[in-house]
Copies of this chain bind each other. A is one copy, B any other.
Amino acid sequence: MSLVQGLAAHAAGAELLPFRYETGDLGARDVEIDISHCGICHSDIHLISNDWGISQYPFIPGHEIIGTVSAVGADVRLLNIGQRVGLGWQSNSCGECEWCTRGLENLCLSSEGTCVRRHGGYASRVRANARFVFPIPDALASEQAAPLLCGGITVYNPLRIHDINPSSRVGVVGIGGLGHMAIQFARVFGAEVTAFSTSAEKEKEARSLGAHRFVHTRESRALKEVAGSLDFILSTVNADQDWGVYVQALRPTGKICFVGVPPSPVTLHAFPLIAGMRAVTGSPIGSPSRIREMLDVAARHQVGAIAQVFPMAKVNDALAKVKKNKVRYRAVLANE
């Protein structure tokens, strides 16, 4: 039993207020984490607003968590009290199904979210199955590392799955919380990187993050100039776009991968998919083994979030800034 102090929404879209809850007994395979940092992800905002119809109130958001292990269950072998660790979107899976046994726990149909129907990381403590709790390499600062646990793996995993390599020409659509990490990772894979943004003023930032080319998507000529030039486009935006233009930007055998969710259905002509063997796909987070790999790559290549740190008590200010797109690039809450 443990008393957790958190910040909870008590109704859909409400401001977060202090809220305490008692944990039950610690499960044999569970780990308790004393939270030092928690990133703010757009999914938290969707959950606060019950946009997906799965939220239950009071509800403590948060799933980009860094902290130190404060307790371990009886069967936990590889994590120790005092160790710095991270926890992302997923906190458990069945461990038995085809996907879990193939090391693709992120596709488990019984996957449990860290803050879905349970309390998350805008709090003093959180618990999760030890399989989803990862040691954080010393080379990564906690505020840099927290957003890697959800946003980072969301962009890293598709680059690995789709075999991005030094011959690849990669487009990143949107230069925000996810996009700014995608540009960095794509560079680490050796790819030629084209950044797409609706804001012309982001060009300098995109280039400083590693982009070789910048396309201002409100200029239709700029979009036409990249036609047939990219092998892989990662779309990190949650806004509707003329997706046909991005399909046209792909070379034969090219793919566009959604990691942001456009609100409206995606409408595409089949013919360019057929004629050029192009594909449209998507990707959710990554498996525990892939998260460990990403943390290792991030530490060796000094990839991380550019974070704006807010005290945990200022969560509502931070959420307001994230909603207004005023944070460059990821907001991270810090406990005292």
- Chain A residues in contact with chain B, CB under 8 A? 99, 104, 107, 109, 161, 252-253, 255, 258-259, 261-262, 265-271, 273-284
9 new A-B contacts, CB < 8 A, other than A261-B271, A266-B269, are: A104-B252, A258-B270, A261-B270, A267-B267, A273-B282, A274-B283, A274-B284, A277-B283, A278-B281
**What residues of chain B lie closer than 8 Å to A283, measured between beta carbons?**
274, 277
Q: What residues on B are CB-neighbors of A265 within 8 Å?
A: 267-270
Among residues of B, the one whose C-beta sits closest to the C-beta of A275 is B284
Q: How far is the CA of A108 from the CA of B162 in the complex (A)?
A: 22
A258 touching B284 in the complex, CB below 8 Å, given contacts A252-B107, A266-B267: no
Can you give 14 contacting A-B residue pairs, CB < 8 Å? A99-B252, A107-B277, A109-B252, A255-B279, A258-B273, A261-B271, A261-B274, A265-B267, A266-B267, A266-B268, A266-B269, A273-B280, A273-B282, A276-B284
CA distance A279 to B257 in the complex (A): 9
CB-based contact A279/B276 at 8 Å = no
Distance (whole angstroms) from the CB of A245 to the closest CB of chain B: 13
User: Quick one: copies of this chain in the complex?
Assistant: 2
Instruction: Give Cα A11–Cα B234 distance, bound, in whole angstroms.
Output: 45
Determine the chain B residues whose CB is within 8 A of the CB of A273 once the complex forms. 258, 280-282
* Most interface-central of A253, A268, A270, A274 (chain B CB within 10 A): A270
Q: Which residues does chain B contribute within 8 Å of A252, judged by CB atoms? A: 99, 104, 107, 109
Q: Select A282's contact among B104, B258, B262, B275, beta carbons within 8 Å.
A: B275
Kindly state the separation between the CA atoms of A275 and B89 in the bound complex, as whole angstroms: 13
Closest-CB distance, A93 to chain B (whole angstroms): 13
The distance in angstroms between the C-alpha atoms of A183 and B129, with both chains bound, is 44
A281 touches B279 (CB 8 A): yes
- CB-defined contacts of A99 to chain B, threshold 8 Å: 252
> Given contacts A107-B252, A252-B107, A253-B107, is CB(A278)–CB(B270) below 8 Å?
no
CA–CA, A309 to B55, complex, Å?
A: 63
Chain B residues, Cβ within 8 Å of A268: 265-266, 268, 280
The distance in angstroms between the C-alpha atoms of A150 and B332, with both chains bound, is 56
* Bound form: Cα–Cα A288–B140 in Å: 51
Q: Which of A252, A258, A267 has the most CB of B within 10 A?
A: A252
Q: Are B266 and A277 in contact (CB under 8 A)?
A: no
Set B107, B266, B269, B271: member contacting A270, Cβ < 8 A: B266
In Å, the complex CA distance between A267 and B99 comes to: 28
Contacts of A261 in B (CB 8 A): 270-271, 274
Residue numbers in B under 8 Å from A267 (CB-CB): 265-267
Known: A252-B107, A253-B107. A278 touches B282 (CB 8 A): yes
Within 8 Å CB of A270, what residues of B?
A: 258, 261-262, 265-266, 282
A282 to chain B, nearest CB (A): 3
Distance A176 CA – B76 CA, assembled complex (angstroms): 57
What is the CA–CA distance of A269 and B264 in the complex, to the nearest angstrom?
7
Distance of A152 Cα from B123 Cα, bound (Å): 60
Closest 3 CB pairs of A and B: A274-B282, A273-B282, A279-B281
How far, in angstroms, from A253 to B262 measured CA to CA in the complex?
20
Query: Measured between alpha carbons, how far is A301 from B252 in the docked complex, in Å?
Result: 32
How far is B283's CA from A278's CA once the two chains are assembled, in angstroms? 8
